Structure 1
Amino acid sequence: MTVPQAPTTVILWVHPRSCSTMFEQSVLQRPKEFKVLHEPMGDAYYFGPEKVSNRFDDAKCSKDYAHFADSTFKKTWDNIIKHNSPSDPPRTFSKDMAQYIFAPTYSSATSVPSFSSTPTTSDDDDNPTLIPTSTLLSPSTVHTFLIRTPTKAIPSYHRLCYPGAPTDFDYFDPEEAGYREVRALFDFIKKAKGRTPLVLDSEDLLKSPEEVMKIWCKEVGVEFDKGMLQWDEGVQEHFAKWPGWHESAQASTGMGKGLKDHHITPSNHASGTDSPKPDHPQIVKDAIEANIADYEYLKKFVVKHEMVEDRLGGVERKE
């Protein structure tokens, strides 16, 4: 099965602190081609009437996040995959956390009421998400993935989860690391579609941004433009819904460019054999260890520049 040359909707599935907002900055440089959505499924996951996360209690949702009161999973998903109005760009790009379409381990939910009238398919029995297969795998949608090593992503997440944090995440929850859900979603799409979804690694993105963005552009059917590699530093209203999380992306001036020292995760500094190893709290070390296997599994599918021609020619890579 081949990917449509110009799917109406392109989704980049990620886990927290995967450098995905910097990736999103790149797509924001294509305003005539893409309507860009910033983690829309989080509206339903955290705040809506069907919320499955216990991160914020009902009282806080009603007080501080009342504007998401009608954000059901179906309404939010439909906004991602619907065809744009004539005044909008022709295509939609959505960057979202894979865990936002899963029921957490502490929840027994396998479906949500808002999708009760959506047709089911035989693949729904294997579908691990809250989104019915018929709409999750819409022919007009292409799914891509971006991952980052837990040794960097998890300490970065921990750094922004503490009492009084500007992110409003006042504690660190290892269950929010997100790798398990990325892997489960990847495996389901791979099996159901009969084709390996595109997986990229943020380490490659930061080292070789032009090559990696060319890979992504070919996958989703757009011409690469070097203008995607740089932008002006500054506050983006686009990221306002999640305060405190995106200072590094807003401080950047391109892929990995313009970052200040206080925006860099401590583990990023340990680049050489003689570099000091970061001394993380035990809860962070345990979370890193718990997610390494899922990251290493996904990394086997990461597409490098030299693999592109085989991929476009329909040749699947062997494990």
Structure 2
Amino acid sequence: MSSAPSPAEPRPRTVILWVHPRSTSTMFECCMLNKQDEFRVLHEPMGDAFYFGPERVSNRYTPECCDKEYPQFKDSTFAKVWGNMVDATTEGPSRTFSKDMAQYIFNQARSTNVTSVPSLTSEGGDNDNSSLIPTALLTDPTVHHTFLIRHPSKAVPSYERLCYPGSETGFDYFDPEEAGYRELRMLFDVVRESNKRQGRPAPLLIESEELLKNPKDVMKLWCDDCGIDFDENMLTWNEGTREHFAKWPGFHTSAEQSKGVGQVSHRNVEPVKEENVEKVDQCIQQAMADYDYLRGFAKGPSV
């Protein structure tokens, strides 16, 4: 059963694909870059507030580093970034697509119970869900939530390979807390419960392997759910570096070297670094319960 809008309902103004790191989501985003006549396409905007802004939650960057290296995000509060994502008055295409990490709207400093940030609390009222986004904003009827997952045995090692001293990504250590499955499950349940109260089915969730095996069928399923006219031209593109992904160098090389969904040029894959083998194995095992739970909601031709 799809949560797609009925013919009598307006097409959702903002469509969000929530993901975890290394879920092949940038490849998915490339499909939407072929729809820029209809959509503004935003690349992980909540990361601006999560990593760099005055309300930052992540400990990945020090305040000094944020001030010196990322001054362009000094005013990126959660309210400002979220507001831009759902703003109906923005010039350009009438709709917005955003690919974002679920962990960017959760508190990862688990020593505290912070579930709100000042800028959003003042706009959306008290928060009564586990994310940093007040329920009134998160469940706005003009915002349509969808989800993408990939098996931890593929996603976690892929992430580790990008996190080492001197990495082009700037992530100079591997942190298992950034795997993202826990937060994706938590967010999925928040949206699912909201949909249930409104008499709607669970949000659409697709699995990366299913997308790679059946790109046409899965993308059509997703487009139908989001009120988007599917076009097979969405599935292919020209390879090459895109300014669209410049904010996160090194993370999107595979997508930039591809020519379409699942069309990634073959290359040697580095093994997990010896000092991280145990941490990666533990991270995979810890992520499996959340992955299996989410996989139980997956939709697709073979699911």
Q: Same-fold call, TM > 0.5? A: yes
Instruction: Tell me if 1:228 matches 2:228.
Output: no
Letter in 2 for 1:112: V
Call closer, same or farther: CA 1:229–1:119 in 2, change over 3 Å. closer
Shift of 1:23: 0.1
2:139 to 137, 140, 143: 137
1:121-270 matches, within 5 Å, as 124-125=127-128, 127-194=129-196, 195-262=201-268
How far apart, CA to CA, are the structure 1 residues paired with 2:135 and 2:80?
16
Q: Structure 2 CA distance, aligned partners of 1:306 and 1:115?
A: 40
Which of 289, 296, 299 lines up with 1:293 in the alignment?
289
Whether 1:88 aligns to 2:63 is: no
Q: For residues 53-110 of structure 1, what are the alpha-carbon distances to aligned partners after superposition, in whole Å with 9 as ceiling and x for unaligned?
A: 100001111111111000000000001011143x411110000000000001244322
Distance 1:160 1:291, change over 3 A: same
Q: Distance in 2 between matches of 1:84 and 1:25?
A: 25
1:17 counterpart residue number: 22
Give the length in aligned residue pairs.
Answer: 292
The answer to whether structure 1 residue 55 and structure 2 residue 60 are counterparts is: yes
- Aligned to 1:46, what secondary structure does the other structure show? helix
Distance 1:280 1:44, change over 3 A: closer
Q: CA RMSD in A?
A: 2.0
1:115 is displaced (CA, Å) by 1.7
Distance 1:198 1:60, change over 3 A: same
Query: What amino acid does structure 2 have at the position aligned with 1:249?
Result: A
After TM superposition, give the deviation of residue 306 of structure 1 in Å: 7.2
Q: Deviations over 1:230-271 (max 9, x none)?
A: 000000000000011000000000011142314x5769xxxx
Report if aligned partners of 1:84, 1:92 keep a CA contact under 8 Å in 2.
no
Return the alpha-carbon distance in structure 2 between the equivalents of residues 107 and 32 of structure 1.
43
- Given that 1:10 and 1:94 are in contact with CA atoms closer than 8 Å, whether structure 2 keeps it comes out as yes
- The answer on whether the counterparts of 1:7 and 1:220 sit within 8 Å (CA) in structure 2 is yes
- The structure-2 alpha-carbon separation of the partners of 1:259 and 1:265, relative to structure 1 and needing over 3 Å to count, comes to farther
Which letter maps to 2:25? S
Counterpart amino acid of residue 147 in structure 1: I
Whole-Å Cα distance in 2 between the matches of residues 34 and 90 of structure 1? 7
Q: Which runs of 4+ in 1 moved over 6 A?
A: none
AA matched with 1:292:
M
* Residues 1:29 and 2:31 are matched in the alignment: no
Distance 2:217 2:39 in 1: 20
Against the structure 1 CA distance between its residues 237 and 84, is the aligned structure 2 distance closer, same or farther, given a 3 Å change threshold?
A: farther
Please name the residue that 1:117 is paired with: 122
Aligned equivalent of 1:274 = none
Offset of 1:116 from its aligned partner? Answer: 3.0
Contact kept, 8 Å, 1:46 with 1:56, in 2: the verdict is yes
Distance 1:233 1:226, change over 3 A: same
Whole-angstrom CA distance in 1 between matches of 2:163 and 2:290: 23
TM, length-normalised to structure 1: 0.87
Contact 2:255/2:264 (CA < 8 Å) preserved in 1?
A: no
- 1:24–1:284 distance in 2 versus 1, CA, 3 Å: same
Contact 1:152-1:265 at 8 Å conserved across structures: no
State TM-score, norm by structure 2: 0.92
Q: Deviations over 1:206-237 (max 9, x none)?
A: 11111110010000011110001100000000
Within 2, Cα distance between the matches of 1:116 and 1:297? 30
Q: What is the distance in 2 between the residues matched to 1:118 and 1:220?
A: 27
Residues in 1 aligned to 2:210 and 2:182: alpha-carbon distance in whole angstroms = 21
User: Is 1:304 aligned to residue 297 of structure 2?
Assistant: no
